[in-house]
Amino acid sequence: QLSMRLTRVASHVPTGATVADIGSDHAYLPCYLVSQGLAERAVAGEVVKGPFESAKKQVKQEQLEDKIEVRLASGLEAIHPEDGITAITIAGMGGPLIVSILDHGLEKLAGVSRLILQPNVHAKAIREWAQTHQWAIVEEEIIKENNKIYEILVLERSSQPVVFTPAQLLMGPVLMKQQTEAFREKWQRESAQWTNIIASIESTEQTLEIVDKKNELVQKIKLVEEVLNGEN
């Protein structure tokens, strides 16, 4: 059975899409999408041999070889123009890695209308990328599974400039409005961690670098508190 995390990622794929799942590992997500009739066809991209073999095995086991192509390739190199990919999913990696995958294959996004991204950490990098490349964040979701908190960002091309405030970049424009329990828990956890870091560097030599770091954390705590208190 598919994890709640990947089930939620799948829920944002438009029905009938042709999907590329990059960093697919066991190809559970494309197998689910195609076998449930949610996606028409799919490409599963993997850069590492082991997971690539697992993906091939899974697709074969589910008898989906006519609809899912598994490719050994880095990032968006797995996509060819003739695939007609309309949606891309990238899940279970850090935000900066997801951004580097997008940046290295910008030309592959030509026919793609939706990106469904699930960064494990540092979603901010993706929001910065969206702003730079004029993709709007049309949906966001935050979920808790096995005591881990995950964010899902859904991007679509925007005809207007995309501009986020510092709070929106850090915490998510949609998530900030919803303020779900998982959201509040995530930011309370993060804020507590920053407070601990500040306390631990308090006793070290106060170099310029350390002072800068401390100020940055103090600012972030303030930003988070304002959002959680409904002041931002």
Q: Taking CB under 6 A as the rule, does residue 24 contact ligand SAM?
A: yes
- Nearest residue (CB) to ligand SAM, 89 versus 131: 89
Stretch that binds ligand SAM, among 44-52, 130-138, 184-192, 196-204 (CB under 6 A): 44-52
Answer for which of 18, 35, 74, 179 binds ligand SAM (CB under 6 A) is 74
Answer for which of 20, 101, 137, 169 binds ligand SAM (CB under 6 A) is 101
Residue 159, burial from CB neighbour count under 10 angstroms (0-12, 13-18, 19+): exposed
Q: Taking CB under 6 A as the rule, does residue 85 contact ligand SAM?
A: no
Q: Taking CB under 6 A as the rule, does residue 48 contact ligand SAM?
A: yes
Distance CA 10, CA 58 (A): 17
**Residue the block writes with tokens 């908190």:** 149
Stretch that binds ligand SAM, among 16-24, 188-196, 207-215, 216-224 (CB under 6 A): 16-24
Pairing of β 68-72 and β 39-46: parallel
Q: Taking CB under 6 A as the rule, does residue 121 contact ligand SAM?
A: no
Q: Taking CB under 6 A as the rule, does residue 119 contact ligand SAM?
A: no
Smallest distance from ligand SAM to CB 229, Å: 33
Size of the site for ligand SAM (CB under 6 A): 16
**Residue the block writes with tokens 């939620």:** 8
Answer for which of 30, 92, 119, 172 binds ligand SAM (CB under 6 A) is 92
Residues that bind ligand SAM (CB under 6 A): 6, 22-25, 45-48, 51, 74-75, 91-93, 101
